Amino acid sequence: MDNFNTVYKNDGTIYIELNGYYNLLLIISGILSFPLNILYLYVIYKEKLWKLSVHYILTIIIVLGGIALGLRHLIIGIINFVLLDPSIISYDNVYCKVKTIIDIFLLYSFEFAYSLRTGVLTFLIAFPIFYRNYIEKEENNKYIIFSNLVIAVLSTIIFGIDNGDNLRIKNCNIYSFTGKIYEIIFLTIIGIFTVTSVLMFFFGLYKVLHVKLNQNAKESLIKLYNVNNSIYLFFWVLPNLSLFLTDVLNIHYQYISLSYDISIFAVSVIGIAEFPLALWQNKTVRESTINVFGIQSKVSTISNIIS
């Protein structure tokens, strides 16, 4: 990497992966996301939390996505320091196509699961009887896993088939290999998900504020809902809304390309926050973690030694 501070190629086009600070952030996010999500997956596995609720089935998918994204960011960040050069007009075609296809699969599997879990939480709050009778059923688990896999695989296949060299730009990212058919499908999905997510957020917030619970329980529920959905809005909805608007409004292709790169990095923040937030907000996860790693017994032992 010739210039640590640059975001410009020698032909004047913007490519954020040239920037050393961006790649350092990728590496740091990978270092954080990979082990944190492995620990969370281990807790879920050891305590068999997936048997408790559909919430944990979706969480397993999200955690697996967090592990894969963490590994992806770590590898790509390191490779970029070696591979990227502002003077190169276009990069290795095979490597870049493989990279973008993997990115598409990871993005769809992670984002669909996270969006669905946000929707499930809203249904739990707004329609508890419907949730208990129709959503919180063990037989639904296989349908959730199957639908998530189908959407991710189909999206990847469509991207792979319609994977052409974009003549407008020659960077090693998703936009450089996005065909017109896939672009239309992708924008449609993003548009629907973004609008639905925003409406669901405000609807769920209204229901939370008007739910009949004691004050402490209500405050805890509001905190849980607000934190989860704020992260979802800031690190999924806003980056994808930016991507949607730049493309639909036909803003300069460089900024559309930039939106793609920012979007895939923003998703990793959700992956990093997943386990710490669960420990903070979810009593079941907190107690399971203490049980798995014997934290309570170690603290008691230390206290006995000190006393």
Asked if 241 and 194 count as a contact pair (C-beta separation under 8 A), the reply is yes
- Show the tokens assigned to 140: 């639904």
Q: Count helices and strands (H / E) in the chain.
A: 11, 0
Which CATH superfamily is 16-302 part of?
A: Rhodopsin 7-helix transmembrane proteins (1.20.1070.10)
Q: Please identify which residue in the block is written with the tokens 């960011």.
A: 73
Q: How far apart are CA 17 and CA 146, in angstroms?
A: 34
The whole-number pLDDT of residue 110 equals 87
Q: Where are the domains of the chain?
A: 16-302
| pTM beyond 0.85, yes or no | no
Alpha carbon distance 59, 38 (integer Å): 12
Cα–Cα dist 186/263, whole Å: 13
pLDDT of residue 305: 36
Would you tell me how many other CB atoms lie within 10 Å of the CB of residue 68?
A: 19
**Secondary structure of residue 221 in the 3-state scheme:** helix
pLDDT of residue 3: 63
pLDDT the model gives residue 175 = 78
Residue 188's CB is within 10 A of a number of other CB atoms, namely 11
Q: Rounded to 10 degrees, what is the CA torsion of 218, 221, 226, 231?
A: 170
Instruction: Give the pLDDT confidence score for residue 257 in this predicted structure.
Output: 74
Question: Taking phi first (over 0 means left), then psi (-120 to 50 degrees means alpha), and beta for anything else, what does residue 3 get?
Answer: beta
- Considering only CA atoms, give the Rg of the chain: 21
What is the per-residue pLDDT for 187?
Answer: 78
Locate 18 and state its tokens: 């040239």
**The predicted structure's pLDDT at residue 243:** 76
Instruction: Give the C-alpha separation, 140 to 146, whole Å.
Output: 10
For residue 216, the number of C-alpha atoms closer than 13 Å in the C-beta half-sphere is 0
pLDDT per residue of the chain (307 residues) written in tens, 0 to 9: 556 777 777 666 777 888 888 889 999 999 999 999 999 999 999 999 988 888 899 999 999 999 999 999 999 989 888 776 666 655 677 888 888 889 889 888 888 888 888 888 888 878 888 888 888 888 888 888 999 899 889 888 988 887 665 555 567 778 777 778 888 887 788 778 778 877 877 787 777 777 666 666 656 666 666 777 778 778 877 887 887 787 777 776 677 777 778 888 888 888 899 999 889 888 889 999 999 987 654 444 433 333 3
What is residue 130's predicted lDDT score, i.e. its pLDDT?
A: 86
